[in-house]
Chain A
Amino acid sequence: MVQEVISGNYAQSYAAKLARVQVVSAYPITPQTSIVERIAEFVAAGELRAEYIKVESEHSAMQACISAAALGARTYTATSSQGLLLMHELLHWAAGARAPVVMGVVNRAVAPPWSIWTDHADTISQRDTGWIQFYCESNQEVLDTTLLAFRLAEHADVLLPAMITEDAFFLSHTVEPVDIPSQEQVDEFLPPRVTKMAIRPGTIGRLGSFTGPDLYMEFRHKIAQAMERSADLFLEIEDDYERLTGRNHGGPLPTYQVDDADAVLITMGTATTTARAVVDAMRARGKKVGLAKLRAFRPFPVREIRQLGARVDRIGVLDRSFTFGAAGAAFTEVVGALYGSRHRPRVRDFVAGIGGRDITPQAVDEMFTALLKDRGPEVDWVGLKHRLEVNRRG
Chain B
Amino acid sequence: MTTTRAEHHDAKAGGHTTAYETEEDLPEAPVASVPSDVIHTASWRTFRPVIALAKCTKCYVCWKFCPDVAIAIDGDGWPVIRLDYCKGCGICAEECKPLAIEMVKED
Provide the residues of chain A in CB contact with B54, threshold 8 Å.
none
Indicate if the CB atoms of B8 and A215 lie closer than 8 Å: yes
Contact with B along A133-150 (1 / 0, CB 8 A): 000000000000000000
The A-contacting residues of B in range 2-18, CB under 8 angstroms, are 4, 6-10
Indicate if the CB atoms of B31 and A205 lie closer than 8 Å: yes
Q: Does B30 contact A (CB under 8 A)?
A: yes
Contact of A209 among B6, B9, B31 (CB under 8 A): B31
Indicate if the CB atoms of B31 and A218 lie closer than 8 Å: no
Which B-chain residue is minimally distant from A70 (CB atoms)? Answer: B29
- Chain B interface residue bracket vs A: 10 to 19
Provide the residues of chain B in CB contact with A159, threshold 8 Å.
28
Task: Given A214-B6, A214-B7, decide whether A205 and B33 contact each other with a Cβ distance below 8 A.
Answer: yes
Provide the residues of chain B in CB contact with A221, threshold 8 Å.
23
Provide the residues of chain A in CB contact with B7, threshold 8 Å.
214
Q: Does A222 contact B (CB under 8 A)?
A: yes
Q: Does B35 contact A (CB under 8 A)?
A: yes
Task: Given A218-B23, A221-B23, decide whether A211 and B33 contact each other with a Cβ distance below 8 A.
Answer: no
Indicate if the CB atoms of B29 and A204 lie closer than 8 Å: no
Indicate if the CB atoms of B6 and A218 lie closer than 8 Å: yes
Indicate if the CB atoms of A218 and B29 lie closer than 8 Å: no
Q: Does A96 contact B (CB under 8 A)?
A: yes
Contact with B along A185-214 (1 / 0, CB 8 A): 000000000000111000011111111101
Having A206-B34, A214-B6, A219-B30, one finds 5 other A-B pairs with CB under 8 Å, namely: A98-B29, A197-B29, A205-B33, A207-B29, A215-B20
9 inter-chain pairs at a CB distance below 8 angstroms, sorted by A residue, are: A96-B30, A204-B35, A206-B33, A206-B36, A207-B30, A207-B31, A208-B30, A219-B29, A222-B28
Provide the residues of chain B in CB contact with A91, threshold 8 Å.
none
A interface: dominant SS? loop
Indicate if the CB atoms of A211 and B23 lie closer than 8 Å: no
Which B-chain residue is minimally distant from A160 (CB atoms)? Answer: B28
Q: Does B75 contact A (CB under 8 A)?
A: no
Chain B nearest CB, measured from A199 CB (Å): 6
Indicate if the CB atoms of A211 and B31 lie closer than 8 Å: no
- B residues apposed to A, CB below 8 Å: 4, 6-10, 20, 23, 26-36
Indicate if the CB atoms of A98 and B28 lie closer than 8 Å: yes
Which A-chain residue is minimally distant from B39 (CB atoms)? Answer: A210
Provide the residues of chain B in CB contact with A211, threshold 8 Å.
8, 30
Q: How far is the CA of A122 from the CA of B6 in the complex (A)?
A: 38
Provide the residues of chain B in CB contact with A210, threshold 8 Å.
10, 32
Indicate if the CB atoms of B8 and A206 lie closer than 8 Å: no
- A residues apposed to B, CB below 8 Å: 70, 96-99, 159, 197-199, 204-212, 214-215, 218-219, 221-222, 226
Chain B nearest CB, measured from A204 CB (Å): 6
Chain B nearest CB, measured from A198 CB (Å): 4
Chain A nearest CB, measured from B43 CB (Å): 15
Task: Given A214-B6, A215-B8, A218-B6, decide whether A204 and B33 contact each other with a Cβ distance below 8 A.
Answer: yes
Q: How far is the CA of A67 from the CA of B23 in the complex (A)?
A: 24
Q: How far is the CA of A214 from the CA of B26 in the complex (A)?
A: 12
Provide the residues of chain B in CB contact with A206, threshold 8 Å.
31-36
Q: How far is the CA of A204 from the CA of B33 in the complex (A)?
A: 6
Indicate if the CB atoms of B29 and A215 lie closer than 8 Å: no
Q: How far is the CA of A159 from the CA of B31 in the complex (A)?
A: 15
Chain A nearest CB, measured from B55 CB (Å): 35
Contact of B26 among A70, A222, A226 (CB under 8 A): A222
- Sort A-B residue pairs by CB-CB distance and give the 4 closest, nearest first: A209-B32, A206-B32, A198-B31, A98-B28
Q: How far is the CA of A204 from the CA of B38 in the complex (A)?
A: 12
Which A-chain residue is minimally distant from B31 (CB atoms)? Answer: A198
